[in-house]
Structure 1
């Protein structure tokens, strides 16, 4: 019981810290958003561009999705989320920079969230009891990507007051799968049983 309450409190502190940092960055968003022209000179934008938002409603929506993630997958530890939050933002930002050069500016955590949900769900496919739920999460994310890339995301764009960059969601999913596979291979090499 003590382990589970300690585990729970670590997750709550982690979520509160991330939400606080994101809110602080939001106040000076112009210094932290992804700007392709400043990206390599102001390298912090590789990470911070994903933690600022186009407005407070956008911030709130992403933070709600972020706060749910650590609690719906029981085997994920705080260090797993920290690793994803360190790896996914620069991977997505550099993908914008090198492969989608027409994207000048970006703000928001949704690409990272898509990647984190997919990465954690892919790893949870290995756990028999969580396999069904993890598959459902992956199916829902795939359905969302198909919807956004065919029908569009007009309702969300109206709600946050800015166009939704669905490419960020797709890149997040791609990088999430890559990082999940790397983690699975690494974990298997350490303990092949």
Structure 2
């Protein structure tokens, strides 16, 4: 199995509030879900979760309701720099292409790495799966992940807004696009 056939599908959950962050707090990644997809074999071959302990914010009741993550649970996580190290070393994030649903995940990593002086763990090859899905299906608006699953006739597996479960579901959408020849680099996909 060559490394070029593997794709990391990433979904993050971050601290959030019903409205603006409280004074002195910022959005921080608290969970990284990662599903490894073997594009050649057309299957999901790995499912991972990294809990990340926030350093400059706390998990609100709103955040717990949305994600299911509690303050006590994320307090058991690793620091952000260690999470990035794990992505780079254990999941080959700098070598493998990666995808996320939209640009939020990529932008959040960029912001948080810059703010904390942490080395960005990913390589340059990122695909916005939401944009690919929208174009492939000729949609006028970019759907959320749950709406895309419904449109594609796929089940939503697990809990929506769980990074691990969302990465798993996004990977199913990616595989559907690859099977149609619509995923960049898949046989029959448009180039350029």
Give the TM-score taking structure 2 as reference length: 0.30
> Which structure dedicates a bigger proportion of its chain to strand?
2
